[in-house]
């Protein structure tokens, strides 16, 4: 374990010996020596090895207290001498901090930020999700007086305002015009009073009787509704959330 600690102790002893040497020398010898080291590391920075630069910087940091101690000893060691030494320490370490920052100027550069978009590009950029063009497939209305063919198999009979499905199911209170969605999941019919539409989700077994609405068409197998011919079509989910709906 003594061998492992020896390099650290050797560094401490070397720094202490350097400090003591400058403290024993006259200040007018130690100060020019520190100034010479400063000039060397400043002018020959790109020619010196990194280890040599680190050694000189360490010598400046540890040598300054020794020179200041020699200065106060030369001034008589009184309060004025110690005050001058403290002022010298403040000025000296401030200069050393500036020297360290100058020597490290190329090692801590912040990477340049990516160029931001100009305001015309931001103004023309689309906001929100991409727009989608919705093209409705018109419903194929059929008169159910003679029965209908079920896209899912079998036939549908119409008797006394009721639709009877061979596959199972009965829809009453509906008029004769009826239509199926392209996949056959939805069944639509006019209400008997002609003032609304009846929708039956055959997959979930849900019926919706929507007064004042008309079937505008199908989109992706789902019904879209309108109140008048010139109105914008709305999906069934929007109608169920915003309007008076009577569910059977």
Residues spanned by the domain of 73 = 7-103
User: What are 217-235's pLDDT values in tens digits?
Assistant: 999 889 999 988 888 888 8
pTM: 0.46
Does residue 38 form part of some domain?
yes
Last residue of a domain, which of 56, 77, 103? 103
Q: Are 71 and 155 part of one and the same domain? A: no
Residues 146 and 243 in one domain: yes
Instruction: Please check whether residues 172 and 238 belong to one and the same domain.
Output: yes
Residue given tokens 């590391």 in the structure block: 41
**Same domain, yes or no: 99 and 147:** no
pLDDT tens-place values along the chain, 248 residues long: 444 444 666 777 777 887 788 777 787 887 787 888 778 787 777 777 777 777 787 777 777 777 877 778 888 878 887 887 788 778 777 877 777 787 777 665 555 555 665 666 666 666 766 667 778 888 888 887 778 888 888 888 888 888 888 888 888 888 888 899 988 899 998 888 778 899 989 888 888 888 889 898 999 889 999 988 888 888 888 888 754 444 44
- Number of domains the chain contains: 2
Q: In this predicted structure, what is the pLDDT of residue 186? A: 92
Q: In what order do the strands lie in the sheet with 170-172?
A: 148-149, 155-159, 162-165, 170-172
β-bridge mates for residue 190, sequence order: 197
Question: Cβ distance 161 to 190 under 8 Å?
Answer: no
Residue 2 resides in a domain: no
Calpha distance 170→164 (Å, rounded): 5
| Cα–Cα distance, 77 to 70 (Å, whole number) | 10
Q: How many CA atoms lie within 13 A of 178 on its CB side?
A: 30
Task: Give which of 67, 38, 63, 68 is closest to 53, Cα–Cα.
Answer: 38
User: Do both 68 and 147 map to the same domain?
Assistant: no
H or E element that contains 191: strand 186-191
Q: Tokens standing for 30? A: 């130690």
Please tell me the distance from the alpha carbon of residue 132 to that of residue 114, in angstroms, as a whole number.
Answer: 32
The whole-number pLDDT of residue 244 equals 46
| 106-130 residue pLDDT tens | 665 555 555 665 666 666 666 766 6
């Amino acid at each position: 374990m003594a061998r492992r600690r020896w390099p650290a102790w050797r560094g401490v002893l070397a720094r202490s010996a350097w400090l003591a040497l400058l403290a024993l020398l006259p200040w007018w010898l130690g100060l020019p020596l520190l100034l010479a080291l400063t000039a060397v590391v400043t002018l020959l920075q790109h020619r010196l090895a990194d280890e040599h630069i680190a050694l000189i910087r360490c010598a400046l940091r540890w040598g300054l207290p020794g020179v200041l101690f020699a200065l106060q000893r030369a001034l008589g060691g009184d309060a004025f001498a110690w005050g001058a030494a403290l002022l010298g320490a403040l000025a000296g370490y401030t200069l050393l901090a500036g020297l360290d920052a100058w020597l490290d100027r190329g090692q801590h550069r912040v990477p340049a930020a990516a160029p931001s978009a100009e305001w015309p590009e931001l103004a023309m950029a689309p906001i929100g999700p991409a727009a989608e063009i919705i093209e409705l497939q018109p419903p194929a209305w059929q008169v159910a007086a003679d029965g209908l063919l079920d896209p899912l198999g079998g036939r549908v009979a119409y008797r006394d305002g009721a639709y009877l499905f061979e596959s199972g199911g009965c829809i009453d209170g509906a008029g004769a015009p009826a239509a199926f969605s392209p996949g056959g999941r939805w069944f639509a019919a006019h209400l008997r009073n002609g003032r609304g539409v009846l929708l039956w989700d055959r997959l979930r077994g849900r019926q919706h009787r929507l007064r004042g609405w008309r079937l505008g068409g199908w989109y992706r197998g789902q019904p879209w509704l309108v109140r008048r011919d010139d109105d914008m079509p709305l999906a069934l989910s929007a109608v169920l959330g915003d309007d008076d709906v009577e569910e059977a």
